[in-house]
Amino acid sequence: MSLTRAQVEAIAHLARLEITEAQMPVYVDSLSRIIDFVEHLSAADTSGVEPMAHPLSDQVQRLRVDEVTEADQHEKYQQNAPAVAAGLYLVPKVIE
């Protein structure tokens, strides 16, 4: 196993994913296999190679004038929200 249970628990926490007790060994196993598999890359000679930043080498990020282009549609968008009041998204109390 290239990953320990503690490592997988830490990853799950960073990723904000609850993993059930029953599923944890399955993830330790499969994630270890994936990490072992991608280890193959370490054998490739990449000295002097620049990491790819964009699949089309001549592309640059476009800029635009900083002006409002979107209409306010928050009521429509918030129809998909689990809990809303007065145009605000509701979450459990964050500060006691």
Partner 1 sequence: MSLHTLTVAELAAGLRARRFSSLDLTLHFLGRIERLAPQLNAFVTVTADRALADARAADEQLARGEGGPLTGVPIAHKDIFCTDGILTTCASKMLSNFVAPYDATVVERWRAAGTVLLGKTNMDEFAMGSSNETSFYGPVRNPWDPLRVPGGSSGGSAAAVSACLAPAASGTDTGGSIRQPAALTSLTGLKPTYGRVSRYGMIAFASSLDQGGVLTRSAEDAALLLKLMAGFDRRDSTSVDVPVPDYVAELVRPLAGLRVGVIREFFDKGLEPGVGTLVQDAIEALRLQGATVREVSLPALPLSVPTYYVVAPAECSSNLSRFDGVRFGHRCESPRDLLDLYKRSRGEGFGDEVKRRIMTGTYVLSAGYYDAYYLKAQKVRQLIAADFERAFRDVDVVIGPTAPTPAFELGAKTSDPITMYLNDIYTIGANLAGLPAISIPCGFVNEGGRDLPVGMQLVGPHFSESRLLSVSHQYQRITEWHRRVPPGYA
Residues engaged in binding partner 1 (CB under 8 A): 3, 7-8, 11-20, 23, 26-27, 30-31, 33-35, 37-42, 44, 46, 49-56, 59, 61-62, 64, 73, 76-77, 79-83, 89, 91-94
What CA–CA distance (Å, rounded) separates 87 from 74?
7
In the complex, minimum distance from the CB of residue 66 to partner 1, in angstroms, rounded to a whole number: 14
Q: Which whole-number Å values give the CA distances from 80 to 70, 73, 74, 85, 92, in the listed order?
A: 19, 12, 10, 13, 18
State which amino acid sits at residue 34.
Answer: I
In the complex, minimum distance from the CB of residue 1 to partner 1, in angstroms, rounded to a whole number: 14
